[in-house]
A = this chain, B = another copy of it.
Amino acid sequence: MNAEHRPDLAVSKVAAAIGEPARARMLYCLLDGHARTSTELGIVAEVSPSTASAHLARLKEERLVSVVAQGKHRYYRLDGENVSAALEALMVVAGRSTEIFVPTTPSGLRFARACYDHIAGSFGVSLHDRLNELKWLVSGSDGTGYDLSPAGAQGLAPLGIDAAALRSLRRRFAYACIDWSERRPHIGGALGAALLTCALQRNWLVKDLDSRALRVTRAGQREFHIRFGLRA
């Protein structure tokens, strides 16, 4: 009837939402503050994509998670500090200290991974920062995007990245793509795609099978260091 007037009832619905193993796995995976997609959380919870979707819908309904759509990905994260506080309080009751918990995201997926078609993860963020430091990347005319400085165009030319050609594409040249695991920007758009393509072609990065994780090869470590002053 009017559940709003029954605090205990309202709480029981929230607790029931947490009190299902698959959903609990999702929530405690998100406790590290990173946002993850439905499929990622499905893998963590060891359920099928459809089941994961149903669980996330319920968690969203109970306002335990919030969702941000970025392109065709939907990123789920805990909805506020209150939720983490409640999850931690429950952990105390369950008799497990908070330190036992280790975030279950595969480390490879956090270090470097493909976001659509460009390089994300902490490595992608480092690359973004470094190109800014070098002033190869400058603010674009529209304010939100990026542009390549003359020095940048010159620096990337040896890699077969033709700034003029990229600019002629209908696609957006370059922009700050927010990384939901690092919460910091990396390079998206045509330039970002060209960087990833180039790195893959030259075997500086290799894709892990059946996953978005990227691995930096030995050659990649050397080349990224020489050409960008970037050290992994």
Number of copies: 2
Interface-side segment among A80-88, A123-131, A217-225: A80-88
| Main secondary structure on A side of the interface with B | helix
A28 touches B (CB below 8 Å): yes
A48 touches B (CB below 8 Å): no
> For A19, what are the chain B residues with a Cβ–Cβ distance below 8 Å?
12-19
Interface string of A20-43 (1 = CB under 8 A from B): 110111011100000000000000
Give the distance to chain B from A62, nearest Cβ to Cβ, in Å: 8
* Tally of chain A residues near chain B (CB < 8 A): 46
Interface-side segment among A89-97, A145-153, A196-204: A89-97
User: In the complex the two chains form, is B7's CB within 8 Å of A100's CB?
Assistant: yes
> For A18, what are the chain B residues with a Cβ–Cβ distance below 8 Å?
11-12, 15, 19
| Bound Cα distance A231, B15 (Å) | 39
Closest to A104 in B: B5
| Bound Cα distance A100, B202 (Å) | 46
Closest to A64 in B: B93
A9 touches B (CB below 8 Å): yes
> For A101, what are the chain B residues with a Cβ–Cβ distance below 8 Å?
4-5, 7, 10
> For A85, what are the chain B residues with a Cβ–Cβ distance below 8 Å?
89, 92
Partner among B63, B92, B96 whose Cβ is within 8 Å of the Cβ of A95: B63
- Using a CB–CB distance below 8 Å, which chain A residues touch chain B? 3-5, 7-21, 23-25, 27-29, 62-64, 80, 82-83, 85-87, 89-98, 100-101, 104
